[in-house]
Structure 1
Amino acid sequence: MSAALNVVHEVFADDWTERLIIERLEDAGRTLIAMKDTGYRPGLAQRQHDVVHDIWDAYNWTIPPELRLPRPGIEEIKRMDEAYGWMKFIPSGQVTMRRIVQARSLRHPLSDRYLFSWRRLADVLRLDHKAVQRVHANGIRNILKGL
């Protein structure tokens, strides 16, 4: 994972900053993506055919070790739960704001790239990318006020 995940921050109530909140949310996004998604979904459980989970299984390939996502530890999962619990500080009527803050927190654990760029979020929400950035900043400020 990223170097930021290996550093444990002890933050007191007065020490929170917008940058630190964004970093914690991005760490939570990396952890969420790194968690393995396995098992059958209800729709697949009713079929009688063997389910191929991914291309690596289909062709009996082995995944090179450098391509595997690192498994998050229990502490990282607890920090993820705590960070995503901060969404309660964004008013419940501000669904778009929550969506933007949550979507922007998702970063790939290996490449560290955002899954949703500002422009992609703007296209999905039919907004200007600068407006999406302002809404995101307001959401982070709401979280900062709540903490």
Structure 2
Amino acid sequence: MTFEELRPKVLDILHHSNTLREEKLLQVCHLLKDNIDYYDWVGFYFKNGDKEELILGPYAGEPTDHTIIPFGKGICGQVAISNQNFVVPDVSAQDNYISCNISVKSEIVVPLFVNGENIGQIDIDSNIADTFDESDERFLEFVNAEIAKLF
């Protein structure tokens, strides 16, 4: 399914008023993982209160031991500090990478802003190297902008 085809489906999930926020996020994770061939793990990490760490939120894919990530650690922890998208074509070339699964070859992390504050991020792993491009970034920015309206 193309990003353009997925946009209205994301909106349908997020604007369903009888569903709790966590369930909406989980549904978005499954929608993306199930409809984009190279999205092998899709999840959200959120700032853990006033702590300088991220805590795992809803996700779709293999379970991960990385339920808490300190700011600065791994790709997600770096995005928590930089407030910038981070596309990793080859995770084995990153010296500050936290491996969740030996099959992962590339990763993209896009921060989630609410009222200008980075409150979390969407994190996507792929078992294919160098698979993410600018179209993934723009689509995930759209997803996060819509999710921000839930907060």
TM range (shorter): under 0.3
Q: TM-score, normalised by structure 1?
A: 0.28
**Larger helix proportion of the pair:** 1
Q: TM-score, normalised by structure 2?
A: 0.27
**Larger strand proportion of the pair:** 2
